[in-house]
Structure 1
């Protein structure tokens, strides 16, 4: 079976390369965390694999692995995210927003404020230019609004 990459797969190729990641400390202290490094590679144009590594707030090492692809049958982006700091595997379902620059990835996972419950989350990858992008993670509140949890800036190395 031979599958050819579609235009939507090519959108993901903008993520390829080596990136330096900076973000504000998620504890709300206002301090910047130590920069992370992410390497993004392609699996024959159909999938991208994003491998991140750095130091967590508190000083312990961390690793992340994100996979992203596009399913032409469902016309949806899909993927996964796992990290060394938790046991939950996040499974993504998403779309490119009308601006053509933002990939909105929806998922469900543990509600960090209400143990034993689940919540809806969204990770948003926004392309700023060829060398910069952002990742914003947000959670949907009980009233349906979105609350930002974390924002990171990626700069091409």
Structure 2
């Protein structure tokens, strides 16, 4: 059986300075994905929590700052966290788990819908490691057809 310490250790792989290239689907019909870049600094709070601060361009928003917190809650036996961005006023609260291979952390949340901010939508962010110095974050939204559709894919590379 894996210990709770092991669950916290998995998060430590995120610690470091990263650059990213991303593409996001625009909600207007027939629009190509928008591309943008930025940086992210991830630090550990005593090996228990992570604090990730990102800065970069966001389509339609200009320069944006994002902050994500992540940790493992042994009572819930789930990963938990939050996400905020300077482009919106909503606090996203995460809850999720690792896949069986312990390579992908999927975090679920609810936030205002991209098509109508008066409505809420379900989102999930999947963090996948591709080696020690590469990871991919894919964001999905649950659409009205009941299917998950990707809306953003971010490729991170650790700064050397």
- By the TM > 0.5 criterion, same fold? yes
Q: Which runs of 5+ in 2 are unaligned?
A: none
Structure 1 residue runs of 4+, over 4 Å off?
Answer: none
Given that residues 123 and 142 in structure 2 are in contact (C-alpha distance below 8 angstroms), is that contact kept between their aligned partners in structure 1? yes
TM-score of the aligned structures, taking structure 1 as reference length: 0.90
Pairing of 1:25-64 with structure 2 (within 5 A): 25-27=24-26, 28-30=31-33, 32-33=35-36, 35-58=37-60, 60-64=62-66
- Give the aligned partner of residue 121 of structure 1: 123
Residue by residue over 1:4-50, the C-alpha shift from the partner in whole angstroms, topping out at 9 and shown as x without a partner, is x71100000000000001012543434532x2010000000000000
Please give the alpha-carbon distance, in whole angstroms, between the structure 2 residues aligned to 1:31 and 1:108: 23
- Give the aligned partner of residue 78 of structure 2: 76
**Count, aligned residues:** 153
CA shift at 1:144, angstroms? 2.4
TM-score of the aligned structures, taking structure 2 as reference length: 0.88
Please give the alpha-carbon distance, in whole angstroms, between the structure 2 residues aligned to 1:101 and 1:8: 12
- Give the aligned partner of residue 16 of structure 2: 17
- Give the aligned partner of residue 94 of structure 1: 96
CA, structure 1 residues 143+14, in 2 after alignment: closer, same or farther (shift >3 Å)? Answer: same
